[in-house]
Amino acid sequence: MKRRTFLFGTGLLAAGGAYAAHTLPAYRLQTRLQLVSKAVAGPSTSPTEATSNSFALPNPWAGKLIEAAESQIGVTVVYDPAYVSLPFPNGDLPRERGVCTDVVVRAYRDAFGYDLQSAVNADMKSDFSSYPKIWGLKRPDRNIDHRRVPNLQTFFRRKGAALPVTANAKDYQPGDVVSQMLPGNLPHMAIVSHRASADSERPMVVHNIGAGTQLEDRLFDFEITGHYRFKPA
């Protein structure tokens, strides 16, 4: 597996920061990503420490997805936005590192054997023009496409998984995937858990926002930009 210094993250290169990506050295991009990650990171909660209250699981597949996401807690402990050349299909970084989208990709692989790397690559090959042009690519890149938030948003939407974005916690079921916009226009993605917040009003989320995979009460801490319920065939 070959690591390169060109950064993508779920940050500058995945959002509207394409201009900055072409004008700032890689080490400055990484520093900015780390600073933002530290600014938004909050106290984590392990599944065993979470409130005993929980929301009902809507269906068995949602429980499998959440379990696969939570299994990454304590395993993925580093936020690493570096571009990496991956095997194909089912390519992955070492499990101790990754970004927010890796939580989602790994959860779908572990729960269902569903490979978002190959699925996104196939869909982009079938209709590349429907995907974002943020990065100036002329063709799909199977190393990185599935690890970019805007691409996963597009993929889920094209698969009919998009749901309305609301401010009502009851609209977000366990097993749903949400995309958010962090300070600095950095897109983010998380999986909605069945575990309830301390006041039992919101479901907690499993995500990697800068300090590895964590379970946190952060559903409404940032602007929600997408809401998806994707069950693989």
Written as six digits, the tokens of 7 are: 């950064």
Name, in order, each residue with C-beta under 8 angstroms of 28's C-beta and a sequence gap of 6 or more: none
pLDDT surpasses 80 at 52: no
Q: Is the pLDDT of residue 70 over 90?
A: yes
- Residue 74 — φ and ψ, nearest 5°? 85, -10
159: left (phi over 0), alpha (psi -120 to 50) or beta: alpha
* CATH 3.90.1720.10 corresponds to the domain 2-228: yes
**What is the model's pTM?**
0.84
- Which pLDDT tens digit goes with each residue over 169-200? 999 999 999 999 999 999 999 999 999 999 99
More confident residue, 33 or 137: 137
User: DSSP letters of 58-118?
Assistant: SSHHHHHHHHHHHTTTTT--EE--EEEE--SSS----TTEE-HHHHHHHHHHHHH---HHH
Flag whether pLDDT at 7 surpasses 90.
no
- Contact present, 217 and 207 (Cβ < 8 Å): no
